[in-house]
Copies of this chain bind each other. A is one copy, B any other.
């Protein structure tokens, strides 16, 4: 039974779910209760939302759409749409089955991911699915089914040329190598359509940092054009509908900060499969305060990555590096964008660690896909960076995405309020707390406030003298600086020893 209502814009943001507000009396008449899932259809498109009800905030005949909807979905306003109450999703049976410890078939995974992606499954049902991953380790075959199903639930891209990619398993502050690697690789004629996520628990994702230089929320058509013309892009993945179930799965994984490795594997590989990647380098930082705590875990993961890659005929190399140390000096979108520009423009004060790491990863990828002979990848990458071709390519990308290609590092605005922290004693920096840096940068306002963040005046292993600057906080308001300073009373970013 369908009903017809006129869409109205409401400025309420939940940060979590698509909510549509119905008039209380009308909803009752239609048999819709607060909390029910409804399908909203218009113009051969549809959207699943959760119904809330109100006596006054919405008139009969209207349906109020929350900000989470109209910000992300192109649904017409003040327009009549069709409303339908949803029954229980078909995949709920499969989720129950997995929760009771049974293996699922490909078709069952496909149905689950399709229902998650379309919003038919509630947040609670999606949580049960994620939880079922702990019931019994996924078999290799299940991992393959999941990856295939997750990829095939969304768009499957086909780009011309040799499609390659580089992926960093997260957790390391300031790890913006992507923005250096991509222009190097693309400058050498390979196709590298890079889609990134925004930060969820960290102070900046690649998409957040790139957004300081150019728009990243582009339409699928626009992204295709750019990649065809320039061999690369540096965009937010949301516009492309790649492995769309992944986003919602991430949202329910985050509260427990329990990302099962199986979920991570599937999430990464499904996107590569959907993007048509043929050669892939995985950068896996290993360390207590990163996502992968030890080499044993890293090696087990490498094996699974290799298994999945072989199933999809992707050539893969996993690079495991033991580290706790942030990459670059700036943490937070604007500060990280400055670092990246300094490296690409080869400024005198460019952060060497960021450049070196990017060169190393680019080199490995060049060797893997046969663009460079074994042992010569890093040299080729280095020449491309030093010779300015990488920066020229980056300028092309910035311009194509709608930014200013002549931007200089110091043009980038950072927080007007700042505070230095100095060494309380002389010595050497013997430990950097990567997690603490992330926490402080987030308190300062990153990533939603791009100007905010932490600049590291010193690095791991640097000698310091008492009273010397260790790091600097940047924020939009003094209040944020105060909040971050408070957090720094409880924990510290650097440990100074002998």
Interface residues of A, Cβ cutoff 8 Å to B: 1, 10-16, 19, 21, 24, 28-29, 31, 33-36, 50, 52-57, 67, 88, 92, 95-96, 99-101, 122-125, 127-128, 131-132, 134-135, 252, 255-258, 443, 445, 448-449, 477, 479-480, 483, 486
Minimal beta-carbon separation of A97 from chain B (angstroms): 11
Minimal beta-carbon separation of A155 from chain B (angstroms): 27
Q: Could you list 6 examples of A-B contacts with CB < 8 Å?
A: A15-B33, A15-B35, A127-B131, A128-B256, A128-B258, A132-B134
The verdict on A256 contacting B92 (CB below 8 Å), with A13-B24, A127-B127, A131-B127 known, is: yes
Cα of A71 to Cα of B95 in the assembled complex, Å: 34
Q: Given contact pairs A96-B256, A99-B134, A101-B134, enumerate 5 new A-B contacts (beta carbons under 8 Å).
A: A13-B53, A14-B19, A15-B53, A28-B448, A127-B127
Complex contact A255–B134 (CB within 8 A): no
Minimal beta-carbon separation of A90 from chain B (angstroms): 13
Minimal beta-carbon separation of A460 from chain B (angstroms): 28
> Which 3 pairs across A and B sit closest by C-beta, in order of nearness?
A15-B34, A131-B131, A15-B35
The verdict on A99 contacting B35 (CB below 8 Å), with A127-B124, A128-B127 known, is: no
Each complex incorporates copies of this chain amounting to 2
Cα of A392 to Cα of B21 in the assembled complex, Å: 47
Cα of A486 to Cα of B29 in the assembled complex, Å: 16
Cα of A88 to Cα of B486 in the assembled complex, Å: 18
Complex contact B258–A12 (CB within 8 A): no
Chain B residues with Cβ below 8 Å from A258 are 96, 99, 128
Chain B residues with Cβ below 8 Å from A1 are 483, 486
Chain B residues with Cβ below 8 Å from A486 are 1
Closest residue of chain B to A16 (Cβ to Cβ) is B35
| Best-surrounded residue of A21, A67, A100, A448 (most CB of chain B within 10 A) | A67
Complex contact A255–B122 (CB within 8 A): yes
| Best-surrounded residue of A14, A57, A257 (most CB of chain B within 10 A) | A14
Chain B residues with Cβ below 8 Å from A52 are 12-15
Minimal beta-carbon separation of A338 from chain B (angstroms): 23
Cα of A389 to Cα of B123 in the assembled complex, Å: 51
Closest residue of chain B to A93 (Cβ to Cβ) is B256
Chain B residues with Cβ below 8 Å from A35 are 14-16
Complex contact A54–B13 (CB within 8 A): yes
Cα of A128 to Cα of B16 in the assembled complex, Å: 17
Closest residue of chain B to A37 (Cβ to Cβ) is B255
The verdict on A57 contacting B11 (CB below 8 Å), with A128-B131, A134-B135, A255-B124 known, is: yes
Chain B residues with Cβ below 8 Å from A14 are 19, 34-35, 50, 52
Complex contact A13–B31 (CB within 8 A): no
